Chain A
Amino acid sequence: MKTLPRLVPATAVLASFALAVAQGESVADVAFALDTVALLLSALLVALMQPGFALLEAGLHSSKNVINIFMKNIADFAVAALAYWAVGFAIMYGGGLFLRNYVTGMNVPNSADFFFQMVFAATAATIVSGAIGGRMKFGAYLIFSVVMTALIYPVMGAWQWGGGWLSQLGFADFAGSSVVHAVGGFAALGAVLAIGPRLGRYAGGRAVAMPGHNLAYAGLGLFLLWIGWFGFNGGSQLAFSTQADATAVADIFLHTNLAAAAGGVAALLVSWALFKKPDISMTINGVLGGLVSITAGPDVVTGLSAVAAGAIGGALVVGSVVMFDRLRVDDPVGAISVHGVAGLWGTAAVGVFGGANLGVQLLGTFSYAAGAFVAGYLVFLALKVTIGIRVSPNEEVRGLDIVEHGLPGYSSEDRLRDPVVVGAGD
């Protein structure tokens, strides 16, 4: 009897469905409502990844750039909502501008279909923010966000999810290892190459660490991303009201979590072996690498292969972060490794573990990587030669919070113990 109160909500839901049927509403009406509510809740979980990104990036950057990171994350979410609604969605899925004359093929209202896709576009856009943090002009970043969500992501998204040439080849990318993550990650690579490393990052011919100012923020950001990912992958089933769909979503939850956990454990162990201490920022990147690695095929793997895909992704991310550092590609948050490199692997993994054609998987994922890299690089180059993308060296040393937004994120006292940056005055 003690467990009775817990049963009440479930019983109430069942009762309301029973009532709905009894009142003459069809089972189809109930399915429509259930599909819509589940999709909207999934979209909200994906939206929860936005504060996740903001906290993760802010924590891994210096205390002098924390306002700038949050402003970029707030602004790119807002810009995505507008630009994808006005232009991007029509390019990717058809219909007219401003969502006019669009008819969804899903068992939900047009606006629910759009809202779920919009939060994905916002995710692709915000991936770039952390990689170019600490040195970019805010205005130029805003323009990039518009181009990303109105053009770059929609044009390439249409190749697969809009029924384009890759979907016709049988390419498999369930929730977007390539369509969202590789696109965000390789656009970030192009952007980083165009803007260059932070001042002093490679002073004296070697990589100099610039530790994040609040690893607890970064950890909290990771938890939000991890939780949000269940909406990202689970919601991508797009239908929930049949037994088959509900079972698929539950399996996707299980596989997504297994891959995340395996990625985190793998990165933790690899970083421990390489650096003598278990590195929190690498473990965070490892969990995310595991999540990206399962995103292309959470519906077609087994539990064991989800663990394998995630673990390889997590380990790959650690090696990739070190490699990009050797190449002097300054990505303070590891976005290129987490979303780009693990995105490539996750898409290939559907060929290895999930029965998709490996050749088509590789063709598709490298097409996304190459397209996003070129687009990201060219947009940044165009911005560079017109309005400029980088703050002055003096402004960079002072920090973007003061220079770009006119107020400090923290009192100067909190910054006294920031680690020394060798060669920052170069």
Chain B
Amino acid sequence: MKLITAVIRPERLPAVKESLFAAGVRGITISRVSGHGGQGGVVETYRGSPYVVEFHEKVQVQIAVSDPFVDPTVDALVKAARTGNVGDGKIFVQPLERVIRIRTGEEDTEALTPVER
């Protein structure tokens, strides 16, 4: 089991959701975040004086998946989030010790398997 955290461009979120859904991935958590990686600061002008926009708005996507889903998820994220320009973001894959579904008490892979409806 892995926790996959992706920091992406906000405008790529619709494509990323679609791509993840097509890959069979269910259950994502998103949040608004601010930061910068290799992109660095952008210099703008305000009332004739320069200023640096250091932190850029990003969307962070978190997905917990069982082992067979790790590569499809990463592929789906990369495919949908990439524009080829600096600032596309990063994907972090971390091991997960334990997962519990609160409603049923199911653990680990069972807890990560989507409910059939």
Known contacts: A416-B34, A416-B55, A417-B34. The answer to whether A322 contacts B48 by CB under 8 A is yes
Judge whether A224 is part of the interface by a CB distance below 8 angstroms: no
Judge whether B53 is part of the interface by a CB distance below 8 angstroms: yes
Find the A residue at minimum CB distance from B45.
A275
Which residues from B are CB-within-8-Å of A282? 47-48
Judge whether A325 is part of the interface by a CB distance below 8 angstroms: yes
Judge whether A422 is part of the interface by a CB distance below 8 angstroms: yes
- Residue from A212, A274, A417, A419 in contact with B48 in the complex, judged by beta carbons closer than 8 Å: A274
- Residue from B34, B51, B55, B57 in contact with A211 in the complex, judged by beta carbons closer than 8 Å: B51
Judge whether B49 is part of the interface by a CB distance below 8 angstroms: yes
- The reply to whether B45 and A277 contact each other, CB–CB distance below 8 Å, is yes
Say whether chain B's binding surface is mostly helix, strand, loop, or mixed: strand
Judge whether A71 is part of the interface by a CB distance below 8 angstroms: no
Judge whether B50 is part of the interface by a CB distance below 8 angstroms: yes
Judge whether A75 is part of the interface by a CB distance below 8 angstroms: no
- Residue from B47, B51, B57 in contact with A419 in the complex, judged by beta carbons closer than 8 Å: B51
Known contacts: A419-B54, A420-B54. The answer to whether A208 contacts B34 by CB under 8 A is no
CB proximity of A354 to chain B, nearest CB, Å: 32
- The reply to whether A211 and B46 contact each other, CB–CB distance below 8 Å, is yes
Interface size of A by CB at 8 A reads: 23
Judge whether A281 is part of the interface by a CB distance below 8 angstroms: yes
Which residues from B are CB-within-8-Å of A276? 45
CB proximity of B110 to chain A, nearest CB, Å: 36
Assembly CA distance A211 to B47 (angstroms): 8
Assembly CA distance A7 to B91 (angstroms): 67
Judge whether A312 is part of the interface by a CB distance below 8 angstroms: no
Assembly CA distance A211 to B52 (angstroms): 10
Which residues from B are CB-within-8-Å of A321? 47-48
- The reply to whether A279 and B52 contact each other, CB–CB distance below 8 Å, is no
Judge whether A31 is part of the interface by a CB distance below 8 angstroms: no
- The reply to whether B57 and A417 contact each other, CB–CB distance below 8 Å, is yes
Which residues from A are CB-within-8-Å of B55? 416-417, 420
Judge whether A220 is part of the interface by a CB distance below 8 angstroms: no
Known contacts: A416-B55, A417-B55. The answer to whether A279 contacts B47 by CB under 8 A is yes
Judge whether A34 is part of the interface by a CB distance below 8 angstroms: no
Judge whether A82 is part of the interface by a CB distance below 8 angstroms: no
Which residues from A are CB-within-8-Å of B46? 209-212, 279, 281
Judge whether A402 is part of the interface by a CB distance below 8 angstroms: no
B34, B44, B49, B52 interface centre (most CB from chain A within 10 Å): B49
CB proximity of B45 to chain A, nearest CB, Å: 5
Assembly CA distance A417 to B55 (angstroms): 6
* Interface mask (B51-69 → A, CB under 8 Å = 1, otherwise 0): 1111101000000000000
Judge whether A207 is part of the interface by a CB distance below 8 angstroms: yes
Assembly CA distance A99 to B24 (angstroms): 80
- Residue from B34, B50, B54, B57 in contact with A209 in the complex, judged by beta carbons closer than 8 Å: B50
Judge whether B41 is part of the interface by a CB distance below 8 angstroms: yes
Known contacts: A416-B34, A417-B34. The answer to whether A325 contacts B49 by CB under 8 A is yes
Known contacts: A416-B55, A417-B34, A417-B55. The answer to whether A209 contacts B49 by CB under 8 A is yes
Which residues from A are CB-within-8-Å of B57? 417
CB proximity of B42 to chain A, nearest CB, Å: 10
Which residues from B are CB-within-8-Å of A206? 49
A residues sitting closer than 8 Å to B (CB atoms) are: 206-212, 274-277, 279, 281-282, 321-322, 325, 334, 416-417, 419-420, 422
23 contacts between A and B (CB under 8 A): A206-B49, A208-B49, A208-B50, A209-B47, A209-B49, A209-B51, A210-B46, A210-B51, A275-B45, A276-B45, A279-B47, A281-B47, A321-B47, A321-B48, A325-B47, A416-B34, A416-B55, A417-B34, A417-B55, A419-B52, A419-B54, A420-B41, A420-B53
